[in-house]
Amino acid sequence: MEFKILGEKIREEARRVSRAFGGESFRREADRSTYMFVAPLSESASMRYSIDGKTQQLEWIELSQGKRRRNWDGDAVCWLDFSEVEPTANAVDGIAPELNAILACGLYRLGIEEGEAWDELNLTLTAHEQLELRLGFPREFWPQKWLDEAVQ
């Protein structure tokens, strides 16, 4: 099984990222020299993402409208870059509202509650939506910030 090769921390990070964006499953892409994963998010959205093998941290995410079962066609409509201190985003014009909702939920669940990516994508969540997202997200995937707040 391919997950025996992956290492526990990379596998857990892949699960956390997939779940943050609403994915129930993910698979590793065919290129075994990298840690790239594809996750279907809904009937109309998919994501591909990469985890750095050394730091075991998320590097980037590409979101696509449409369900990708095999090859990634390179038709992403949004790119998130996590290589800097603050994540950045680029998107094509006219992203479907459903994809904007997926982006807002996913970023929030990763612990990114504000900043450049939110501004670039014009995303918002109400306090009520934030509370619902936090309470509905398994505690094992909570960002450290949330765990620290829960202790206080």
| Tens-digit pLDDT profile for residues 31-71 | 665 788 888 888 778 888 988 888 888 999 988 877 655 55
Q: Report the pLDDT value the prediction gives residue 26, as an integer from 0 to 100.
A: 85
Over the stretch 41-51, which tens digit does the pLDDT of each residue have? 887 788 889 88
Q: How far apart are CA 152 and CA 146, in angstroms?
A: 10
What does the block give as tokens for 93? 């014009």
Considering only CA atoms, which of 114, 113, 111 is closest in space to residue 142?
A: 111
Q: Answer yes or no: are the C-beta atoms of 105 and 118 closer than 8 Å.
A: no
Region of 40 on the Ramachandran plot (φ > 0 left; ψ -120 to 50 alpha; else beta)? beta
Considering only CA atoms, which of 126, 131, 124 is closest in space to residue 146?
A: 131
Low-confidence ranges of the chain (pLDDT < 70): 1-6, 30-33, 67-75, 94
Q: Report the pLDDT value the prediction gives residue 73, as an integer from 0 to 100.
A: 56
Prediction pTM value = 0.83
